[in-house]
Structure 1
Amino acid sequence: MPLYRDQGVVLRTHKLGEADRIVTLLTRGRGLLRAVAKGVRRTSSKFGARLEPFMVADLQCFEGRTLDTITQAETLGAYGPAISADYDRYLAGSVIVETAERLAEGEGSRELYALLVGALRTLAAGRIPPELVRDGYLLRAMSLAGWTPSFDVCARCGAPGPHTAISVQLGGSVCEACRPPGSPRLDPGSLTLLRALLAGDWDAALSSSERERQQAAGIAAAYTQWHLERGLRSFSAPKR
C-alpha cells in the first residue's frame, strides 16, 4: 500500500472497536481525510494525545481500500488542551471545525487549511475573545468558499453604503430600494465590526461593544448556515 505524509488538523474522532479511533482531519494536501488510528485509546499509545480535536499534526499514513491508516503523528500545533480547558473557547472551536468539515466536503484547499490553523492558534492563545475568533473565521471561510459578504455597498445593486439593513440571502448589507421586507437593521458599529472581522483587523474588532458583537455574531451565524444549506450542530450547544 502506498505510504504518504501530510499535515492535518483533527476535526473530530469517534471510537472504532476496543482500542482504535476513526479520525476526521482537514489536511493541507488532500483536503478532508478520514483515517484509522490503531491502538490510540490504549494508555500505552505513543501518539493518541496528538490525534485529539483541535490538534495539528504531521502525519504518515498508508492508503487503504476504504480508510487510510495513520502510522505516525508528530505534533505541529498543540492547541487542543488550551481550547478544551475553557468552555467558551471549546464552543467557538467546535463551530470552527464543524464549519471547516462542511466546507471541505466538496473540495479542500490550502487556503482553507491555513485559515483553520490560524483560527485555532489565535483561539488557543486566549488574547482575542472566542466569539470574535469564531465570527472572524466564519466570515473569512465563507469568503474563501466564494461567498464573500458585502458590507460596504448594496449586495444587490452595488449602491455605495454604508447600509444598515442586512439580507443574508442577498449577500450582505442592502440599500432601502433593495431591502426585502423584514430584513434586520444593525447599529453602524456592528457593520464596522463585521468589516473588521472579514478583514482580520483585531484592533478594530476589540474596540466593539457587547451589543455590536451580539449583532455581528447573529449575522455571521445566519450567513454561514444559509450558504451551507444546513444548520451547524455546534451552535445548539448550551451556553455557559
Structure 2
Amino acid sequence: MPPPKTYRAEGLVLKNIPFGEADLLVTLYSREFGKLKAVAKGARRSNSKIVGHFEPLTVAKLSMARGRTLDIVNQVEVTENFSSLKSDLTTLARGLYVAELVDGFGSEASSNQQLYDLAIETLGAIQQHPSWELVLRRFELHLMRASGFMPELFHCVDCRKPLEPEQHRFSPDAGGTLCLDCAPYGVQIRSLSLRALKVLRLLHRSRIADLPQLQAHESLEQEVKSLLSTAISYWMDKEIRTNSFLNHLERLPKAEVSS
C-alpha cells in the first residue's frame, strides 16, 4: 500500500535556505519521522501568514504533502519558539550548535524520538538556565548515546579489562577509553585525567536537572569539552561551524558579548 499523500509531524526547525522566488527549503527534525526537508511556499513574502514560522530553533506542528522530490508544507502551527534563548547572542549560539549536531547525527526519514526529546530538553535548559556550563557537554554525550556512537567509559575498548584509576587514555576512533597497555594501530589517542573521566561518567548517567550539582573548575571543563569535541568531530567527519563561533564568544569579555 502506498504511503498517504499527506501526513502530520511535530518538528524542530534546524535550518532554512531561500528556495525559488519566495519560498524556503526547511530542514527539520521531527519526532515521528526523523530528519525531513520540505518546501514552505511563500514563506519569504513579507505579507505571508507564516513569516517567521520557520526560523531555526522553532518547534511546530506541521501538515505536509508528499511531493515527487520534496514535500510541501500545507499548514504550520508554532508551539515553541524559544524567544528568550534567541534574545541573547551566547544562548542563541548554543542553540544553533545543538541544531547543527542534530542535523549532523540525525538520519533522514528514520525516527529517533530519544534524539528529538534530547534536543528539545536541552534547548529548554539553555533558555531557562543560561549559566549551566555543562549543559552542552551532557548534550554531546547523550547525543552520541542516542545515535549509537556512545564512547566506552568503563573498560578498555581493546582488551576489555576494567579501567584502573589514572591508567587510561581516550580515543574517539577506537570507541572510547584505552588502558595504558593498549595502543591500537592508527588511532588517535588523547590523554584523559581521572577527574575528566569521572565528569564524563557523571554526565553519562545524569538527568538534566542534576547539572547544577556537578561542579568543575575551568581547566577541567575545558578538558572535557576538548575530549567530547574530538569525538563529535570524528563521528560527524566535518567542521562544526557553530563551534568556532562559540569559542570566539567565550574569548570575548562578557560586557562585549551582551552589548
Which TM-score band (shorter chain)? 0.7 to 0.9
**CA deviations over 1:34-92 (Å, ceiling 9, x no partner):** 1111222233332322221011111111111111111221122222x323322222222
Task: Report the 3-state secondary structure (helix = DSSP H, G, I; strand = E; otherwise coil) of the residue aligned with 2:84.
Answer: helix
Work out whether residues 172 and 234 of structure 2, in 8 Å CA contact, stay in contact via their aligned partners in 1. Answer: yes
Q: How many residue pairs align between the two structures?
A: 238
Cα distance between partner residues in 1 of 2:196 and 2:213: 10
Residue 189 in 1 paired to residue 195 in 2?
yes
Match of 1:54 among 35, 57, 81: 57
Q: In the alignment, is residue 171 of structure 1 matched against residue 161 of structure 2?
A: no
Deviates more, 1:154-163 or 1:60-69: 154-163
C-alpha contact (below 8 Å) 2:13/2:27 kept by paired residues: yes
Following superposition, the deviation at residue 146 of structure 1 comes to 1.5
1:49 partner letter: G
Which digits, 9 at most, give the CA deviation of each residue in 1:151-206, with x for residues without a partner? 22223222223444222222222211114698332332222221222223433763
Aligned to 1:64: 67
CA contact (8 A) 2:157 2:176 kept: yes
* Structure 1 residue runs of 4 or more that deviate by more than 4 Å after TM superposition: 179-182
Aligned to 1:122: 125
Counterpart code for 1:151: L
Give 1:40's aligned amino acid.
Answer: A
Give, in whole Å, the separation in 2 of the partners of 1:82 and 1:157: 48
Tell me the residue number matched to 2:151: 149
User: For residue 25 of structure 2, what is the amino acid of its counterpart?
Assistant: I
The residue number in structure 2 matching 1:93 is 95
Deviations 1:92-128 (A, max 9, x none): 2222211211222363412221221112221222355
Q: Which runs of 5+ in 1 are unaligned?
A: none
What is the deviation of 1:13?
Answer: 0.6
Between stretches 24-33 and 179-188, larger displacement belongs to 179-188
* Distance of 2:137 and 2:159 partners within structure 1: 26
Aligned counterparts of 1:199 and 1:15: Cα–Cα separation in 2: 41
TM-score (normalizing by structure 2): 0.82
Pairwise CA RMSD of aligned residues? 2.3
Which residue is equivalent to 1:220? 228
TM-score, with normalisation over the residues of structure 1? 0.88
Partner residue, 1:198: 204
* Whole-angstrom distance in 2 between the partners of 1:32 and 1:53: 14
Aligned partners of 1:26 and 1:138: how far apart in 2?
A: 17
- 1:239 corresponds in structure 2 to 248
Are the equivalent residues in 1 in contact too, given 2:14–2:56 (CA < 8 A)?
yes
